Structure 1
């Protein structure tokens, strides 16, 4: 028994927290430990003459007495925070746990009191810090949100709520940020977010552009910047609405394109006037000279000479006619006015239709045909495709030596027929290849205007082939010469049958 009492006294007097026994009938302190004496700034002898509520600040004593009476009657209070006033006027915040005990006919309140001054200061600092950060969070110039490891929004500011169209109360703890991300961006952003939380040491992307969809299905362009909170599987995200900036950027791009188009248009007009005036003047000068010669009264031309003059006039007239046709085609293509008369046909039918023109054009060259899949069904304007082939072959004739070979071949590739014209000429400069289909472009290998043309033929070819739904391209052969190819979509069997039906 004595040993137990000794343990009791050791625990009582050696406790860090203040312990006090209060008489339930009088409210006087019956006993306390040293920690309680230090806490209230009074000795036990002083406390034995003090009502417990008299330890409280004067303004709180009336309420304290009432609280004591309730505890003396009810028996216990689990946790209370209140203030103690020391004799020197110092106010000490304490945390109390109180229990009513009975011994024989006597009843006591046992109270354990702890000084929470530091705890309160820390708590107040935390509250102040939270207020500060909440103010920064709320008054930031961008929408901000913090998510948890399951992508649910734990905290959102007013700008984020406005951006998404929801109230803050509807967002926090209830919505995942994933539902606001357009589907095509969702996998990338979620994957990086998950990896960043699982492995914070990895240098995952922190900044994205994506499309946000609000509750009303409106779409906004967003610049997202995010960072992980150290030691927490949470991410802080700031979202800047760049929709208006993107719109302005697009308008600026359009304006730039319009200005560039206008500049090019003016350049084309200047080049057109220069080139066309030259190209028109040459045949017109020849026609006028030959016609004047035939009309001379003082010369009697023999039949052979007269026929040569007339053949020359016809040749120059043909050049004028082709030039005018090219100019008209160029105008139609530029204004999307070129009408294609499409019919079902084959590349063999196109070659057959231009056979005579081809023979006249290539009388000094060898033409080789290798028309594989030549009967493959096409839906084309045969006259225009023939024009493309003649234009390309005409270029090969210009830049290839007499008696050299010009090969025309065809072969299916996937759902297209590819037609290729190759020659044994001088080829194309690497720097010229990207531009050979531009209007008025001249080959840089063309020495001193030799074989100089107006520069419309291949540009017209490109316009016709693209209008047919195909592509056209140029390249150099491995050893010698140039290769120009174009593709035309094949007619699917089902489609042909459907059209017949």
Structure 2
């Protein structure tokens, strides 16, 4: 029989072990029942958060402060930069941005305490695949934890937004230009239209008096003058109609096969009947040149060239018209012996409403639309319009269209 003291010690030990096992058993059951579901829920939330970070289209960079060493990045960061995750983790955050943005980031990291708790946005260029730069807006947030300071950078591609902003700005400027052009047009049109209308009205009154007095010869002269004023008025009205159609994109081209040599010949003959001050020389090709064009519109372009040559050339100076073919195209040109066009004004010569400041141009009424409309008509035919000029040496206006 064992001594009492030994039995007591052994019994106490067994009792302690039994109680400890009961306590541990109760603890495990209590932990599994109370804390394990919560832990599983938290882990599931973390996994969902990780998947969300990975699937987002914004590039996310987690890095240390202040050394800017990378800790973690998401998939979008790799796609943005064209670098693998391993390459990014071996890169400093400042190495990925343009120099201006990198300088701002460095200043931010140099004084992290002042930046903790607030968001800093930087717009700059992030390195893209093959070192291409892409416009991004990046927000930086800094946090201080027990083991140090950290920052997260979220970069958003704003190239589409910038293009939209630029397009909006261009549209705004275009609308403002259109509004200014409209006001300018109304001012010019009201002035220029008033001149032939007033002249025709006065000539009509004169015609009435001449008819009443039986002045037959002078009556015919007055009628001719009225016709010229009405022709000029009609020309400006037709130009305004064409401008309206061009603005709406409804100026139509009705093509048909025909001999352009014959077309040029007819336009030149019509112009000869209208002018008494110039000899018009047409170097007419011997053979027909068949083209597929709108004869009315091409005649309009040539007629505009001839009218300008007649208005801006000295009285008695010849006007030369040519029609030539070259490499599948036909070129029609009109040369005058006027005062020419300065280099400064040459760049605007085919612009809408442009009129030279020279004395001879100011003496002739007009809206400054003829050459602009001519250029649009030629381009609708797939052609090009040209001018060769020098101050004091005259000008040659020409256009080419495919045969």
TM range (shorter): 0.5 to 0.7
1:258 aligns with 2:171: yes
Quote how far apart the aligned CAs of 1:166 are: 10
Pairing of 1:174-213 with structure 2 (within 5 A): none
Quote how far apart the aligned CAs of 1:296 are: 4.9
- Cα distance between partner residues in 1 of 2:306 and 2:200: 27
Query: Match for 2:78 among 161, 177, 183?
Result: 161
Decide whether aligned partners of structure 1 residues 465 and 486 sit closer, same or farther in structure 2, where only a CA change above 3 A counts: same
Pairing of 1:83-162 with structure 2 (within 5 A): 136-138=69-71, 158-162=75-79
- Cα distance between partner residues in 2 of 1:297 and 1:486: 46
Quote how far apart the aligned CAs of 1:341 are: 0.8
- Cα distance between partner residues in 1 of 2:361 and 2:324: 38
1:222 aligns with 2:222: no
What does residue 100 of structure 1 align with?
A: none
Query: Match for 1:485 among 378, 398, 401?
Result: 398
- Cα distance between partner residues in 2 of 1:242 and 1:405: 67
- Cα distance between partner residues in 1 of 2:184 and 2:357: 17
Matched-pair contact (CA < 8 Å) for 1:477–1:483: no
Matched-pair contact (CA < 8 Å) for 1:396–1:423: yes
Q: Deviations over 1:299-354 (max 9, x none)?
A: 52411122222222222221111111111111111211111111123320321332
Q: Deviations over 1:161-213 (max 9, x none)?
A: 354899859x99xxxxxxxxxxxxxxxxxxxxxxxxxxxxxxxxxxx999859
1:393 aligns with 2:306: yes
- Cα distance between partner residues in 2 of 1:406 and 1:163: 64
What does residue 219 of structure 2 align with?
A: 306
Decide whether aligned partners of structure 1 residues 132 and 288 sit closer, same or farther in structure 2, where only a CA change above 3 A counts: closer
SS of the residue aligned with 2:343? coil
Decide whether aligned partners of structure 1 residues 448 and 398 sit closer, same or farther in structure 2, where only a CA change above 3 A counts: closer
Decide whether aligned partners of structure 1 residues 473 and 345 sit closer, same or farther in structure 2, where only a CA change above 3 A counts: same
What does residue 369 of structure 1 align with?
A: 282
Decide whether aligned partners of structure 1 residues 450 and 385 sit closer, same or farther in structure 2, where only a CA change above 3 A counts: same
Q: Deviations over 1:273-311 (max 9, x none)?
A: 222112221122122222223445995241112222222
Decide whether aligned partners of structure 1 residues 478 and 412 sit closer, same or farther in structure 2, where only a CA change above 3 A counts: farther
What does residue 18 of structure 2 align with?
A: none
Q: Please identify which structure carries the higher helix content.
A: 2
- Cα distance between partner residues in 1 of 2:226 and 2:344: 38
What does residue 116 of structure 1 align with?
A: none
Matched-pair contact (CA < 8 Å) for 1:391–1:457: yes
TM-score normalized by structure 1? 0.50
- Cα distance between partner residues in 1 of 2:289 and 2:209: 57
Decide whether aligned partners of structure 1 residues 386 and 285 sit closer, same or farther in structure 2, where only a CA change above 3 A counts: same
What does residue 402 of structure 1 align with?
A: 315
What RMSD over aligned residues (CA atoms) do the two structures have, in Å?
Answer: 3.7
Q: Deviations over 1:246-296 (max 9, x none)?
A: 223322222222222222222222222222112221122122222223445
- Cα distance between partner residues in 2 of 1:448 and 1:411: 30
- Cα distance between partner residues in 2 of 1:165 and 1:210: 8
Quote how far apart the aligned CAs of 1:389 are: 0.6
- Cα distance between partner residues in 1 of 2:85 and 2:318: 78
Q: Deviations over 1:371-416 (max 9, x none)?
A: 5596443221111111101101111111111221211223334343
Quote how far apart the aligned CAs of 1:481 are: 0.5
- Cα distance between partner residues in 1 of 2:388 and 2:370: 17
Decide whether aligned partners of structure 1 residues 223 and 474 sit closer, same or farther in structure 2, where only a CA change above 3 A counts: same
Pairing of 1:57-76 with structure 2 (within 5 A): none
- Cα distance between partner residues in 2 of 1:304 and 1:298: 10
Decide whether aligned partners of structure 1 residues 302 and 373 sit closer, same or farther in structure 2, where only a CA change above 3 A counts: closer
- Cα distance between partner residues in 1 of 2:285 and 2:155: 57
- Cα distance between partner residues in 2 of 1:452 and 1:341: 30
What does residue 192 of structure 2 align with?
A: 279
Q: Deviations over 1:222-247 (max 9, x none)?
A: 379xxxxxxxxxxxxxxx97842x22
Matched-pair contact (CA < 8 Å) for 1:287–1:313: yes
- Cα distance between partner residues in 1 of 2:170 and 2:399: 28
Q: Larger relative CO (CA 8 A, sep 6+): 1 or 2? A: 2
What does residue 469 of structure 1 align with?
A: 382
What does residue 438 of structure 1 align with?
A: 351
Matched-pair contact (CA < 8 Å) for 2:338–2:392: no
Structure 2: give runs of 5+ residues left out of the alignment. 1-63, 89-124, 137-153
Matched-pair contact (CA < 8 Å) for 2:389–2:396: yes
- Cα distance between partner residues in 1 of 2:182 and 2:364: 22
